[in-house]
Structure 1
Amino acid sequence: MQQVQSGDTVKVHYHGRLTDGTTFDSSEGRDPLEFQVGSQMVIAGFDNGVMGMVVGDKKTVHIPVDDAYGPKNPDMIIEFPKEQVPADMPLEVGMRLNLNNSQGQVVPVVITEIQETAILLDANHPLAGEDLVFDIELVEIVGAPSRIIMP
């Protein structure tokens, strides 16, 4: 049976959770996730986790912070002046907002603290600083680069 190698395009079903068991994402009820292994389309730990699997294999992969979304970066905490927030906009800790950076790109943020004159916004990925656990099932190896196998 063909094992997954770097460069293969694969389809997987997955269930992602934090180490406390909280689910953060799952492909249940959706089409399998399709990606090219080794192309940095998914986090490194997930990429490495499918290597060597064969169609039908199921496994649980524990991914440390550094192979997931990395540690929380304190430089990604933004102090935003309250005076720049529309007066009729209710603010709550945990609320998700989108800001535009200087290049016009949308940056998702979460309100972490509301102060008298400012709000603190966290622009880190929501899973930054977390070890992750994925249950992975390899559904299909869609395509693989041509390989010459020598006897």
Structure 2
Amino acid sequence: MTEVTQGAKVRIHYTGTLEDGSVFDSSEGRDPLEFEAGSGMIIPGLDKALPGMKVGDKKKVTIAPEEAYGPRHDEAILEVPRADIPAEIPLEVGIQLQMSGPQGQPVPVTVTNLTDDTVTLDANHALAGKTLIFDFEVVGIG
């Protein structure tokens, strides 16, 4: 296969940054990211940038939240009584915990605020609502 098409197995090296230039993820020093083009395995905005690219091609794309991790949702911020959280769970702002969703699926949450009586948990993805910038290179197709 000489160029990326729907269903192709693709390998890329990438660096993902936020608009302020801070790096949120990179494949530097690791194996390339491998996925099937068009399968939904990566965020839509990055997937849409790939068709027609060849091994060795490089690209920089800016991806709006709607084509990345979506917008932030206020309803995903929960304030729960501190007494409802088991005492053995350490609580501090910024720590990640895991809750169970309606069907028992794991839902990661981040502690965003603590008071004597309540704990505020944010179930939004850490990159929700953010514009992402990816510099990437196709290093394999096949």
User: Which TM-score band applies after superposition, normalised by the shorter structure?
Assistant: over 0.9
More displaced stretch, 107-116 vs 33-42: 107-116
1:66 and 2:66 matched: yes
Q: CA RMSD in A?
A: 1.5
Q: Helix, strand or coil for the counterpart of 1:83?
A: helix
Q: Helix, strand or coil for the counterpart of 1:55?
A: coil
- 1:97-136 to 2 correspondence within 5 Å? 97-136=97-136
More displaced stretch, 92-101 vs 18-27: 92-101
Amino acid aligned to 1:48: K
Amino acid aligned to 1:17: T
The alignment of Structure 1 onto Structure 2 pairs a total of residues equal to 142
> Structure 2 unaligned runs (5+)?
none
Amino acid aligned to 1:114: L
TM-score (norm 2): 0.92
TM-score (norm 1): 0.87
Counterpart position of 2:41: 41
Q: Percent identity?
A: 51
Q: Helix, strand or coil for the counterpart of 2:86?
A: coil
1:11 and 2:37 matched: no
Give how far 1:89 is off. 4.0
Q: Helix, strand or coil for the counterpart of 2:60?
A: strand
Instruction: Tell me how far apart the structure 2 counterparts of residues 93 and 81 of structure 1 sit (CA, whole Å).
Output: 15
Amino acid aligned to 1:5: T
Give how far 1:78 is off. 1.3
> Structure 1 unaligned runs (5+)?
143-151
